[in-house]
Structure formats: structure tokens, C-alpha cells
Amino acid sequence: MVLWWIGNAVLLFVVLPVVIALLNRVLAAVERIRAAADDILEHGGELAGLVEDVPELLARTDATVEQIAVGATRYAGSVATLLPPK
């Protein structure tokens, strides 16, 4: 019977505080994750409004890349005529 009381005391004074401390750490992490998720949701909605112009910007970028490619090809052709053949 004495061992039963010692076991109960160990459970009450050792195991239970450890479980509560671990639970506190887990709940704190969950609260940080919840705050980060709320922040992502808020700013993600703002970001969605900023990407509406992307197709137009990509079309302009494609035209610029095409112009650069034409210029680079002309330059490479000119340099090729100046270099000695292999």
C-alpha cells in the first residue's frame, strides 16, 4: 500500500508537471503557427491583387527578349566575320 502512495506522489509531483510543460510548449507552437497562417492569408490576399498585370508585363518582356535576341544574333554574325576560321 505504501508503494501505491509513493507511485501516486511521483505521478502527481513529477510526471504531471512534465506533461503540462510539454503541453504548454506544443500549444505555444500551435499559436505561433496560427498567427503565421493568419498573416500569410492576409498578405496573400493583398498579393493576389498585385499580380493581375503579369500577363501584360510578360508580353512586353517577350518583345524585349526578341529584340535583344535579334541584336545578339547580328552582333555574333559580325564578330564571326572578324574571327579567323578554324
Average model confidence (pLDDT) across the chain: 89
High-pLDDT (> 90) share of the chain, %: 37
Residue 78, pLDDT score: 85
DSSP result, 19-84: HHHHHHHHHHHHHHHHHHHHHHHHHHHHHHHHTTTHHHHHHHHHHHHHHHHHHHHHHHHHHHHHSP
In the predicted model, what is the mean pLDDT of residues 49-61? Answer: 82
Residue 40, pLDDT score: 92
Q: How far apart are CA 48 and CA 82, in angstroms?
A: 51
**pLDDT surpassing 90 at residue 29:** yes
Residue 63, pLDDT score: 86
Write down the domain spans for the chain: 1-50, 52-81
Residue 23, pLDDT score: 97
